[in-house]
Amino acid sequence: MIGSRRNFIRKSLAASAGGLLFPLNSVTMHYPQNEFASRQEAQRKKLLSLLGDLPNDHRPKAPRLIRKEQHQGYTLEYLEFDFNGLEPVPGILLVPEKRQKKAPCMLYCHAHFGTYPIGKDELLNGRSVMPAYAPVYAEKGILTLAIDSWCFGERKENTEMDAFKKMLWEGKTLFGMMLFDEIKALDYLLARPEADPNRVGVFGLSMGATKAWWLSALDTRITTCLDLCCMTDFHELINEKNLKGHGIYYYVPSLLKHFETKTINELIVPRPHVSLNGRRDELTPPKGVEKVSNYLMPLYEKYGRREDCRIDLFDCGHEELPEMRQIITGWLDKYLVKSA
């Protein structure tokens, strides 16, 4: 059984490696190929080109199952992946006990907070500013994968500053390599026999939120984007003189020559997207959040999907309020759990 699953995964990963970030599967495209969709695809290629040299030629080996743990309502699989050919990528897969035959999927992207020992385990333990999401996904029957990002969790020995500088010398970007690993994680998640490839979410807080909307912009297999506390207009962030508030991973060379926050997020339209941010959060200047919202909402309305986009500000800092959690869980129900 394990051997057959590994063979299946190996074939799936190998097949996807050559087409990184551009799986134009008609099943996952929610609108006809028209002028807007064609322009989006061209912009995806441009955005990808800014991320530096990526190890697209690497053919991943089958993942290694380290151990399984039984938790209340779910099994947890500890895995080690060979995504990039440079260093192993530890991950955890949450397999709910109660789930549909083909389960909705979630790629969970952890936050930064300068807490490098914390990575994928955020899914299980949460943060002081956000309760854990593992019980939520288990209860809703969502198959969920989280990996340690570069420089975090079991990969913390490779420091963020050293990794950024070395990669820059090599023609890579740290954020590009982070996104590469997440896309490879998505390949694995969707190759699981439990997975429903038509219901795929990506979620994150802070750095995880930034990953969530970049990944959703770049990969149309993601059917709904959920991000907390990290979306604002880049220029408003500059005006607030708070570029220092973000880790160095956040900065992609030449990005502002070609893109703004709103034009990256435009590549998600008209797929469902919820973004919740704090009005008192220095990382998300409110004017910048409103600027993105004012640009995106008319586009969703134009394509008849006005209710599928929600960008809100709450009276809080860099944190998830209970009312924000309620919105997120409602979004999960509507767009992942009950959308079969």
pLDDT over 60 (residue 339): yes
Q: How far apart are CA 73 and CA 137, in angstroms?
A: 10
Q: Which domain holds residue 273?
A: 2-12+35-337
In a domain, 90, yes or no: yes
Task: Please spell the DSSP secondary structure of 253-318, one letter per residue.
Answer: TTHHHH--HHHHHGGGTTS-EEEEEETT-TTS-HHHHHHHHHHHHHHHHHTT-GGGEEEEEES-SS
pLDDT over 90 (residue 81): yes
Average pLDDT over residues 306-319: 98
Average pLDDT over residues 1-7: 44
What CATH number did the domain enclosing 142 receive? 3.40.50.1820
Contact 297, 270 (CB under 8 A): no
| Percent over 90 (pLDDT), the chain | 89
In a domain, 28, yes or no: no
Sign of the CA dihedral with 316 first, then 320, 322, and 325 last: positive
In a domain, 18, yes or no: no
Average pLDDT over residues 248-260: 97
Q: How far apart are CA 264 and CA 262, in angstroms?
A: 5
Q: Using pLDDT thresholds of 50, 70 and 90, give the confidence band for residue 331.
A: very high
Closest CA to 311 of 89, 31, 298, 303: 298
What pLDDT shows up at residue 340? 62
pLDDT over 90 (residue 100): yes
Per the prediction, the chain carries an average pLDDT of 92
In a domain, 48, yes or no: yes
pLDDT over 70 (residue 26): no
Residue given tokens 């399984």 in the structure block: 68
What pLDDT shows up at residue 33? 52
- The pair of three-digit structure tokens given for residue 288, joined into one six-digit string: 């910048």
In a domain, 80, yes or no: yes
- The pair of three-digit structure tokens given for residue 76, joined into one six-digit string: 């947890």
What pLDDT shows up at residue 2? 42
What pLDDT shows up at residue 34? 87
3-state DSSP assignment of residue 68 = strand
What domain count does the chain have? 1
Q: Using pLDDT thresholds of 50, 70 and 90, give the confidence band for residue 31.
A: very low
Average pLDDT over residues 67-77: 97
pLDDT over 50 (residue 4): no
Residue range 218-250, pLDDT digits in tens: 999 999 999 999 999 999 999 999 999 999 999
Average pLDDT over residues 260-268: 98
Count the Cβ atoms, other than its own, within 10 Å of residue 293. 20
In a domain, 23, yes or no: no
pLDDT over 60 (residue 55): yes
Q: Which amino acid is at 107?
A: L
What pLDDT shows up at residue 23? 39
Average pLDDT over residues 178-207: 98
Average pLDDT over residues 101-122: 98
In a domain, 21, yes or no: no
Average pLDDT over residues 71-82: 98
In a domain, 25, yes or no: no
- Assign 3-state DSSP to the chain and report helix, strand, coil percentages, each to 5: 45, 20, 35
Residue given tokens 């607030």 in the structure block: 240
